[in-house]
Amino acid sequence: MNGFINVLKPTGMTSHDVVQVIRRMVGQKKVGHTGTLDPMAAGVLPVGLGTATRITEYLDRDFKKYRCEMILGVRSETGDIWGSSLEKQEPPRFSEPEILEMEKLFRGEIRQVPPMYSAVRVAGRRLYEYARSGEDVAVKARKVTIRELKILRYDRDRILFDVDCSKGTYVRTICTEIGEKLGCGGAMSFLARTRSGAFSMEDSMTFEELQDYLDSGTPPEEWLLPVDFPIRDYPKAELETPEARVFINGGYIKLPQVKIGSEEENYYRVYRGDDFLAMATIDKHTKQLVPHKVFYRDLNGGTNL
């Protein structure tokens, strides 16, 4: 099977755990997830089957949405309440304008230092490996983009907010920074991813729902999202069958032979009719469409790689 399952990940499972469960359920080894979720987080976890596992590199520009609750007056090594607490205090009562000011501070392009208890690599090792061994290491701030942070509710020591952010943003760190800006500390107490690129929570599937589809013999095309589902914001290039045969075997195609819109994008989705063939680039010097990664080889029988 080739395509995506939009899994509604429960709390208490790693993203790798989810992949292992899906492998057993569908009886297929080639399965992988996009966009890791922490074990205590729930929500949208896209899982690719077959050729869909090869699409991940084109999802870097995807934005993600989260709903998060944080507790004020707590400072934790991990940035959440599941780590060891370094300090607890009774937070002061803040005014509504003081809380809403956080929306303005976390907007646009910001620099964020990844938490020490994270999988970011420095000098070949994960940050959590340094943290667990008590070693100090310099961690550089990274640019991330916050499209919107919306405070939904403030109740004494808890803040509930939604955030729409770029890949690589740590919501735990946002909680920590809000707490520090308010002067009392803060730590994440709940996190659910409500959207990951084209995948939304409204359209996600539990393990139980997937099992029902499998038990009933429902054809995969009725519950499996197509391989090109998460990349449909990329521009489309269309080829006729003769050019498509050349292209999927590594040949370059001159742009006059390609039905295409803008020539200014980095990548293009390439189709023959309804068949998604490949991702491609454009050679600006020779004005040719160049294969970047081919997903579909057999134009006669329709067999995916």
Question: What is the spatial distance between Cα 101 and Cα 93, in angstroms, rounded to a whole number?
Answer: 15
**Residue 210, amino acid:** L
Torsion over CA: 45, 202, 209, 43 (sign): positive
> What's the CA gap between 218 and 212, in Å, rounded?
9
Within 10 angstroms of residue 229's Cβ, the number of other Cβ atoms is 19
Token readout for 160 is 């509930």
Largest Cα–Cα separation, the chain = 71
SS3 27: coil
Q: How far is CA 285 from CA 138, 156, 171, 256, in A?
A: 42, 61, 42, 14
Q: Which two tokens stand for residue 204?
A: 């996600």
Q: Is the distance from CB of 151 to CB of 208 less than 8 angstroms?
A: no
In residues, how long is the chain?
Answer: 305
Q: With CA atoms as reference, report the closest residue to 37 among 11, 62, 61.
A: 11
Task: Classify residue 209 as exposed, middle or buried by CB count within 10 Å of its CB (0-12, 13-18, 19+).
Answer: middle
Is 136 annotated as catalytic?
A: no
Catalytic choice (38, 157, 228, 275) = 38
Structure tokens at 66: 């989260």
Distance CA 108, CA 105 (A): 9
**Which residues, 6+ apart, have CB-to-CB distance to 52 below 8 Å?**
2, 3, 4, 227
**Paired strand residues for 4:** 48, 225
Active site residues: 38
